[in-house]
Every structure is written in C-alpha cells, then in structure tokens.
C-alpha cells in the first residue's frame, strides 16, 4: 500500500490531475503503461473536465475497483451488482470523509486549482486498498496479491 501512496503522491506532485495520480498508481499492475493511463484519465480531473461533477480521484477509484472486481463479461446482473456494491461502498467512505462526491461539494464551491487535492488523492488510494482488501482472495491473481 505504501508503494501506491508514494506513486500517487509523486504523480500529483508532478502536476497530474487527481484522477491521473490515483489511476497511474495502479496502472502497471493493470497492464497499462503510465502514459496511456494518464492520457485516459486526464479528462476526469476537476470533476469530469473541470465541470466539478464526480471527483476525479473517485472516478479513478471506480475504474480501478471495476478492473479488479469485474469479470468483464455480460451476465445476469448478479456480477454487476457486486461491482456496483464495491463502487458504492467506496463512494460512501469518500462522502463521509469529504461531505460529498462531487468536486463542487468537496471543494466547497471553489474552482479546482493545481495541488489543492493532495489529501484527497492519498485518501482515495487508502479507500481503494480497503475495498480491494475485501475482495475474495481466490479471485485475485498472484500478481495482484503482490501489488497490494
């Protein structure tokens, strides 16, 4: 876990958005190179393109939790329900900590600015790790286990 916190903090410190910093901390474990990960996640910063909607860090958490929890196949809804439950649990923890899940709520109506969300990046990594730790171990690959 310390590795993920360090990677996310370093990325955020370089000027990446909250969404990029969180997602890139897990990218190599998901088989995605850092440049591709950062390109994918840039538009989620500032609450979806700066619109102050869902926090970019939480959007990244959703992608990461989905990656590790989903089987990536269509189904009868039961599998999807389990992924949704984990995402909702992450959002619930985030909301309790920050009073909402949108940038607007989290930043108390202020516009997003560079380097103002470092703590949210850190806390989101902690939330991801908490949710992933709740995943059944038999569903994790050996590489995923080592990454945590």
What are the tens digits of pLDDT across the range 66-109? 999 999 988 778 889 999 999 999 999 999 999 999 999 999 99
Residue 24 · residue 38 · CB < 8 Å: yes
104-132 residue pLDDT tens: 999 999 988 888 999 999 999 999 999 99
| Confidence check: pLDDT of 58 > 90 | yes
Query: What's the domain count of the chain?
Result: 1
Q: Give the C-alpha separation, 1 to 126, whole Å.
A: 8
Range of the domain at 51: 2-147
Binned at pLDDT 50, 70 and 90, residue 148 comes out as very low
Q: Maximum distance among all alpha carbons in the chain? A: 44
**What digits encode the pLDDT tens for the residues 28-57?**
999 999 999 999 999 999 999 999 999 999
- Which residues are CB-contacts of 71 (< 8 A; sequence separation ≥ 6)? 79
pTM (two decimals): 0.89
């Amino acid at each position: 876990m310390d590795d993920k916190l360090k990677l996310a903090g370093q990325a955020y410190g370089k000027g990446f958005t909250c969404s990029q910093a969180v997602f890139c901390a897990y990218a190599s474990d998901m088989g995605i190179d850092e440049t591709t990960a950062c390109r994918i996640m840039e538009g989620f910063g500032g609450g979806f393109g700066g619109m102050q909607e869902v926090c970019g860090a939480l959007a990244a958490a959703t992608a990461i939790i989905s990656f590790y929890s989903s089987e990536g196949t269509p189904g009868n809804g039961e599998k999807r329900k389990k992924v949704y439950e984990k995402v909702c649990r992450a959002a619930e923890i985030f909301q309790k900590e920050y009073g909402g899940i949108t940038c607007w709520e989290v930043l108390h109506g202020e516009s997003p600015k560079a380097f103002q969300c470092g703590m949210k990046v850190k806390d989101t990594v902690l939330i991801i790790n908490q949710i992933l730790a709740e995943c059944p171990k038999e569903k994790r690959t050996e590489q995923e286990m080592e990454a945590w």
